[in-house]
Structure 1
Amino acid sequence: MSNWVINQGLSAFILVVWMGINIFLFVYYYLLYDLGPQFEYTRELLGSALCWARAPAAVLNFNCMLILLPVCRNLLSLLRGSLICCGRTMRKQLDKNLTFHKLVAYMIALMTGLTGVVITLALILMITSSVEVIRRNYFEVFWYTHHLFIVFFAGLVFHGAGRIVRSQQVTNPPHDNSFCEDQPESWGEIDKCPVPQFAGGFPQTWMWVIGPMIIYLCERLLRFIRYMQSVSYRKIVIHPSKVLELQLMKPGFKMEVGQYVFLNCPAISQLEWHPFTMTSAPEEDFFSVHIRLVGDWTEKLIKMVENLPEGGQGPKMAVDGPFGTASEDVFDYEVSMLVGAGIGVTPFASILKSIWYKFKDSDPKLRTKRIYFYWLCRETYAFEWFADLLQVLEKDMEERGMRDFLTYKLYLTGWDQSHVNHAMVHFDKDRDIITGLKQKTGYGRPNWDREFEQIRQENPSSVVGTFLCGPQALAKDLEKKCVKYSDVDPRKTKFYFNKENF
């Protein structure tokens, strides 16, 4: 339990606070409309429907205020840079922005089912098109339907403009409302119960959402400005396994390790923006991305590049970013454990390149004393585009007498017996037959219990940052291992889990 608190305690606390505010708002407004004297006549006319309509509306307003903030990426990057004094534990919460965005959306869906047909239909389309299988395989469907948020917020703001929910006005002379509440047949017949006068309440939803809407509009304005800025190509490379490398240049562009950008290709679609982690280092005068063929957009882009004449420039490209990620914190840990699956190695390419540059000219003063790097791939040729960098790093660390600084292990997960037989025949060779590295490629998946135990033994009093860019199933496994192998004793090893989210 104590180990779980180390990795998930703050996240759970934030979730409890958010849920507590929702419960408080629901209960408070339910009791207000159920017991408040100013709504006694309205309750007589509408019954329990009044409080069951207004209590969810209050929760709806609160969550609609929050829903846009987690997708304001420039705001999150700004907060990440300004929260250095607050420590990495607080910054980790910013990496869960999309998870929180989804939670808020589910709460809105629960509360809106009671308040508006147009809002409900727009929300249903947005949520159903956001499920993993559609978002991954039919990104365009997700992208276009998600822009129904414009209809959603328009309906939300104008939903209360009709002032349908009304409360009675103060009468002259004042009278005992409770006496008349249960005698609607006597309204206007006796002096004690004059005919009640009703007036609609002032719309309040816009006051909850106006701030986040302004922030989001500023985000979109900034994106438009970046869209108009020129981007030039430095180099275009098509690697094995249909991986496209774009080396791009943009005036005034500055990045940090592990950050990502959104790319837009107007020749394919002027509205679609797709996120890609940069594989270049901050020390380079360009920035690069590696794009794997997944979905229609990447397929069209790769075909356009393949059909370019020799020496021709690629299609017009717009770049939004860079934006911060969990990988920025790699050098804040004494020991870092990097795990990449397939193309998920991209943020770690940036980190390892930066390490090479830091060691190239001088002896850098890094807080990080050791890095463990794991790369899992299904195909042998997927290793090719990244193996060159590892060979340079391997040689450089040996020459500096820092062989223990970088420990890397590569695993081929999509293997058959022929791969194993081939490896056994060439087992006595100094270098791996697949990558050309001294470290031999493993077959299958890592034994994570053994790996975590080894790291804990080699770093008995260190804080280990575990970083993953890969599938959710692997994330759950690694997160459990971080909890299992962390010690509550501050003098012993602790593992902190971090995952890339887009």
Structure 2
Amino acid sequence: MGDWLVNEGPKWLILVLWFGINIGLFVGYFLFYHQGTQFYYLRLLLGHGLAWARAPAACLNFNCMLILLPVCRNLISYLRGSCGCCRRSIRRQLDKNITFHRAVAYMICLHTAIHFGAHCYNLELLVAAQTDPYNLPFFFYGNDTEGLISKLTSLQDGVNSTYINPIRLSNSDAIIEGLKTVAGVTGVVITLALIVMVSSSTEVIRRSYFEVFWYTHHLFIVFFIGLVLHGIGGIVRGQTNIDVHNPEECFRRYLEWSPDDATCKIPQFQGGGAQTWKWVLFPMILYIAERCIRFYRSQQKVVITKVVKHPSKVLELQMKKRGFQMMAGQYIFIHCPSISRLEWHPFTLTSAPQEDHFSVHIRIVGDWTGALSKACGAEEPEFQDAWKMPQIAVDGPFGTASEDIFRYQVGVLVGAGIGVTPFASVLKYIWYQYCNPDITLKLKKVYFYWICPDTLSFEWFADLLQSLENQMLERGMGDFLNYNIYLTRGWDANQAKNIILHEEENSDVITGLQQKTHYGRPHWDQIFSNIAQSHTGVSVGVFFCGPKGLSSTLHHMCNQHSSSDPRGVHFHYNKENF
């Protein structure tokens, strides 16, 4: 049985804290509006609907404060750098920023549904109280309060009197009355914006119609404007003169209410001021600063120095930019105005910090990547002049989990298909570091696993592995890097015969590497068992970039094979997230 806490403990601690705050806010505000004396008369009109509307509103304020923070990528990168002295378990949580962003969005949806539904119900009750108070369902006070309801709804704004029911006309339509208010209009707008944003953020839409996701997600601007304006109208009105009119004592004496009564004056009501802006102001300032940084970077000149079209629809771009500094495993956002004025797409850097350029390898799978390949002349047989290259902008680089590989004694790198890109940068950087006699690395052993769908995927990365393999053998470091390539499909009968005929040769018939290619899928349970036996008493960093299904398998393997003994081997799972 593995040590579940190695990878799950910090994550669940954060989730429990987050859930705890949500539950605490919900319960606290529910009781405040359910028991608060200042809302005694409003509860008479609305019953439980008041508390059910206001409690989720408090949770919405809290979660709307959080929702922007995980997508402030410069802030996340800054925190990652500032946490350099922190434990790995703390730093790893920063890599789950997009996962947390989604979780907060789902929580916002839940509380929005409760809040919206409760207010629709409340609006119907307010209309009914103004139209026919004698047919209202009285929740707490029995059936002897019809006259009190009529008295409350008849209160007007004037000398010694303020209203409690915002519905001022009898026989009104609840929908029309709701849309007459700032709260009603903004509530509908932000709810519709939220529905569109969440529905277009599903994995199917993001993968197949990224542009739809990108454009609709910018409705968050409308959402936050509406959110800040939502509470301006002060629809929820609490009593302000409890000191001269205690509703728990005076509600039965409603016929005696008067400005001259010392103990039961006419109750006065006032709507609460807007509160949401106090919660979201700071995150909004941070996000605006984030966008200003992105805009500044988008104005900096980027030069494309080399374009390479690799097999399996992979485009390599080598670029230069003044002042650009990177670390191994980081990623950038690329913007090409000639293709789209607004879209920015993330790509992992495949170059090392020591190289005089930075590069990305882009799989051509959609409209945007196809248009970029065409704009860069990758489809043209002849050499393209530099002045013909499209203008592009680069934002970043931003930190990822792969940066932390140098904090472990043993590293396990797993890439699937084009997911191998971050490890191109990492492996190059490791080699450059080892070639520097003035640097002593903590990392002593690297296991690299690459799962490829077909033989064409090997071409560009196999060249890098072959170069590293030759240089390490020359330096007597052949045991440092243990790499394993798995071909899952893509060979025919003739290729299979050719593989069998050359089985005894020193190099692999497909890749040209000394390490032979494996055919089929890795047996992860056996692989992790062997690593655990070979490296007892150390922390092993497992880094993955690829599809969700394989990620779940590797995550489970890390938990299963981590020792419950503090002195045993521990596998720390890290996944690339963009």
What is the TM-score with the length of structure 2 in the denominator?
A: 0.84
Give yes or no for the alignment of 1:321 onto 2:396: yes
Deviations, residues 381-412 of structure 1 (Å, cap 9, x unaligned) = 11010111111111111122111110000011
Does the residue aligned with 1:356 lie in a helix, a strand or coil? Answer: helix
Indicate conservation of the 8 Å contact 1:415/1:443, yes or no.
Answer: no
Q: Which amino acid aligns with 2:458?
A: F
1:178 maps to 2:248: yes
426, 442, 447: which one aligns with 1:372: 447
C-alpha displacement of 1:189: 10
1:62 aligns with: 62
- CA–CA distance in 2 between the matches of 1:230 and 1:242? 27
Matched, 1:475 2:545: no
Structure 1 pair 187–328 and aligned structure 2 pair: CA distance change class (3 A):
same
Q: Secondary structure at the match of 2:334?
A: strand
Q: Is 1:359 aligned to 2:434, yes or no?
A: yes
After superposition, residues 479-494 of structure 1 pair within 5 angstroms as 479-494=555-570
1:421 and 2:492 aligned: no
| 1:206 equivalenced with 2:206 (yes/no) | no
- Distance (Å, rounded) in 2 between the aligned partners of 1:30 and 1:64: 19
Aligned equivalents of 2:98, 2:203: Cα separation in 1: 13
Q: What's 1:71 paired with?
A: 71
The residue type equivalent to 2:385 in the other structure is: G
Q: Is the 8 A contact 2:413 2:449 kept in 1?
A: yes
Cα distance in 1 between the residues matched to 2:75 and 2:212: 26
Counterpart residue number, 1:18 = 18
Tell me which amino acid in the other structure corresponds to 1:356: W
Q: Which of 338, 348, 353 does residue 277 from structure 1 map onto?
A: 348
CA shift in 2, pair 1:199/1:236, >3 Å:
same
Aligned partner of 1:150 in structure 2 is: 221
Give the CA deviation at 1:356.
2.1
**2:132 maps to what in 1?**
none
Q: CA deviation at 1:221?
A: 0.4
Amino acid at match of 1:440: K
CA pair 174-337 structure 1, distance change in 2 beyond 3 A: same
In structure 1, distance between residues paired with 2:522 and 2:2:
26
Instruction: Specify the alignment match of 2:289 in structure 1.
Output: 218
Residues 17-96 of structure 1 mapped to structure 2, 5 A cutoff: 17-96=17-96
- Partner residue, 2:472: 397
Identify the residue that residue 498 of structure 1 maps to in structure 2.
Answer: 574
The corresponding residue for 1:293 is: 364
Instruction: Supply the AA of the counterpart residue of 1:452.
Output: F
DSSP 3-state at the match of 1:261 = strand
By how many angstroms is 1:212 displaced? 0.1
Mapped pair 1:253 → 2:324: yes
Structure 1 residues 186 and 341, CA gap change in structure 2 (3 angstroms): farther
Q: Report the alpha carbon displacement of residue 241 of structure 1 after superposing the two structures with TM.
A: 1.0
Letter in 2 for 1:495: F
Q: 2: distance between equivalents of 1:259 and 1:358?
A: 17
For the residue of structure 2 that corresponds to 1:85, the secondary structure is coil
Moved more, 335-344 or 109-118: 109-118
Deviations 1:220-246 (A, max 9, x none): 000000000000112111111111100
Structure 1 distance, partners of 2:255, 2:519, is 84
Match of 2:574, SS state, is strand
2: CA distance, partners of 1:110 / 1:186: 45
Distance in 1 of aligned mates of 2:259 and 2:100: 56
Larger displacement relative to structure 2 (361-370 or 175-184): 175-184
2:419 alignment partner in structure 1:
344
Secondary structure of the structure 1 residue equivalent to 2:435: helix
Q: Which amino acid aligns with 2:249?
A: F
Instruction: Specify whether residues 185 and 344 from structure 1 end up closer, same or farther in structure 2 by C-alpha distance, changes over 3 A only.
Output: farther
CA contact (8 A) 1:411 1:442 kept: yes
Partners of 1:40 and 1:181 within 8 A in 2: no
| Structure 1, unpaired ranges of 5+ | none
The answer for the alignment partner of 1:443 in structure 2 is 519
Kept in 1, the 8 Å contact 2:245–2:266? The answer is no
Distance in 1, Cα, partners of 2:349 & 2:110: 38
1:311 is aligned to 384
* Residue identity opposite 2:553 in structure 1: D
Q: Is the 8 A contact 1:415 1:444 kept in 2?
A: no
Please give the secondary structure, in 2, of the residue aligned with 1:84. coil
Partner of 2:541: 465
C-alpha deviation, 1:365, in angstroms: 0.8
Q: Partners of 2:100 and 2:254 in 1: how far apart?
A: 47
- Distance of 1:69 and 1:395 partners within structure 2: 45
Q: Partners of 1:185 and 1:16 in 2: how far apart?
A: 51
Cα-to-partner distance string for 1:57-109 (whole Å, 9 max, x where unaligned): 00000000000000000000000001111121100000000110011001111
- Structure 1 residues 179, 443: closer, same or farther in 2, change over 3 A? same
SS at match of 2:411: strand
Structure 1 residue 180, shift from structure 2 partner: 2.5
Cα distance, 1:310 vs structure 2:
2.4
Cα shift at 1:304: 1.9
Distance (Å, rounded) in 2 between the aligned partners of 1:501 and 1:344: 11
Aligned to 1:238: 309
Deviation at 1:286, TM superposition (A): 1.0
Return the alpha-carbon distance in structure 1 between the equivalents of residues 251 and 363 of structure 2: 69
- Structure having the higher Rg: 2
Match of 2:460 among 375, 385, 393: 385
Secondary structure of 1:368's aligned partner:
coil
Q: 1:78 to 1:289 in 2, by over 3 A?
A: same
Instruction: Give me the whole-angstrom Cα distance separating, in 1, the residues matched to 2:431 and 2:524.
Output: 27
CA RMSD in angstroms, aligned pairs only: 1.6
Contiguous gaps of at least 5 residues in structure 2: 117-186
In 2, Cα distance between the equivalents of 1:260 and 1:21? 33
- Structure 1 residue 439 displacement after superposition: 0.5
Task: Give me the identity figure in percent.
Answer: 59
Partner deviation per Cα, 1:135-175 (whole Å, 9 max, x = no partner): 0110000000000001110110000001111101116x713
- AA at the equivalent of 1:472: K
| 1:320 aligned counterpart, secondary structure | strand
Take 2:11 and 2:473, find their aligned partners in 1: how far apart are those partners?
Answer: 41
**Alpha-carbon separation, structure 2, partners of 1:477 and 1:307:** 38
More moved, 14-23 vs 184-193? 184-193
CA distance in 2, matches of 1:253, 1:303: 26
Deviates more, 1:349-358 or 1:5-14: 349-358
In 2, the alpha carbon distance for the partners of 1:31 and 1:6 equals 38
Q: Corresponding residue for 1:112? A: 112
SS at match of 1:203: coil
Q: CA deviation at 1:450?
A: 1.1
